[in-house]
Amino acid sequence: MPRSAFVCGAQMDDLELLVFTVAGIIIGVDTEQVAGMLSTERAEEVGMEVSRFHEKIPLGGRSVHYRSPKALLIKDETPYAVIIELPDDILSVSLDSIRPLPLLLQTYTSCQAIWGVAVKEERIIVLVDFLRLHAARERGRESRPDSQ
Amino acid sequence: MLMKTPVKSQKNKNDLILDELKRRKTRKKIVEVEEDTVKVVIFSLLGELYAFKGSDVKEILTLVPIHCVPGSPDFIPGVINIRGDIESVIKINKFLGLSDSEPSTKSRIAISETDGIRSGVLLDSIEDVMDIPASSVSPPLSTLSKEAKEYVSGQFLYGDKSVTILDVGKIFGRLEL
């Protein structure tokens, strides 16, 4: 029986992740952050802010090719879409299997959107928080002199 | 007629030899106990020998899959899974003014920890783990590169080769900036 945790006043045993792979890296995002999924063309048609995953989070020079791209709609004050590879799975991971980023990695602000790692059946799933990423970028825009 | 050497005097000579050997061994032991030693882990990077203090190295692993973490700098290739725990892995070549190494079957990851910071360090090979007399450690060579000097605490001879001792704390401290 996994250990429970109280998060925002609610008991939570597991985290449900939408899992996809970009440039060989397995990424997981909390399904609670996901409003839905569209084709990339449809997302652009409806006038959503659309960007590719690797444009939001640098992948260290890895070459990226989306074979079956999908637009992941992120729940936010102003919803926006991130183009990802067609998701592999929706997985439930226990809190016991989640690890924070090692200290040296936490130091680097470009990792802000990465909040931890889940270990599931020998796989390492990098956990992304799109809301945190978007908030950081908005703060960056507000603090730039030319935005005033 | 040849006289056989009396057995008693032969025994005495042998006893004397054994006594002398015992004395030499005892003298050596006293010297070893009294002298401070430092445990070092000697490794190579692009053919050059370096060492960490043994007290800073917790574990040495063969090369296991390193999982990239998006957004991390190029000297942190990623994280590894060690028995369910996640550790970062760093490449220190750049800090020593060296180009990147190619991974090989001899590559190792040294899990190092100091001042509350813990990380794997990617090495080309482990050459030796040994105790050296503290007196054999001398100041760093003046010919070291400017980049490397910042992280060097001393050097010693390993056979006829010079080994540069690196300060893990200074390396991790630099990464924290």
Give yes or no for residue A113 having a pLDDT over 80: yes
Q: Do B47 and B127 sit in the same domain of this protein?
A: yes
Q: Do B18 and B41 sit in the same domain of this protein?
A: no
Cβ of B68 within 8 Å of Cβ of A57? The answer is: no
- Summarised one tens digit per residue, pLDDT across range A63-91 is 888 989 999 999 887 788 999 999 989 99
Distance CA B63, CA B136 (A): 32
pLDDT, average across residues A36-63: 87
> How far is B68 from chain A, CA to nearest CA, in Å?
7
CATH of the domain at B58: 2.40.50.180
Sketch out chain A's domains with CATH numbers.
Answer: 15-141 (2.30.30.40)
Distance CA B100, CA B87 (A): 21
- Residue of chain B with shortest Cα separation from A96: B84
Nearest to B72 among A60, A99, A128 (CB): A60
Q: Do B78 and B97 sit in the same domain of this protein?
A: yes
Range of the domain at B110: 37-176
Q: Do B161 and B83 sit in the same domain of this protein?
A: yes
Residues 99 through 128 of chain B touching chain A, CB cutoff 8 Å: 116-119
Which pair of tokens denotes residue B2? 């040849």
A55 touches chain B (CB under 8 A): no
Give yes or no for residue A16 having a pLDDT over 70: yes
Q: Do B58 and B23 sit in the same domain of this protein?
A: no
First to last CA, chain B: 90
Distance CA B124, CA B63 (A): 10
Kindly provide the ipTM of the predicted complex, given to two decimals: 0.81
B83 touches chain A (CB under 8 A): no
Alpha carbon separation from A121 to A1, A19, A125, B83 (Å, rounded): 17, 14, 10, 12
Strand runs (DSSP E) across chain A, as ranges?
A: 5-7, 10-12, 14-22, 25-30, 34-38, 50-52, 69-74, 80-85, 89-94, 98-100, 114-120, 123-128
pLDDT, average across residues A122-148: 73
Give yes or no for residue A1 having a pLDDT over 80: no
More confident residue, A109 or A79: A79
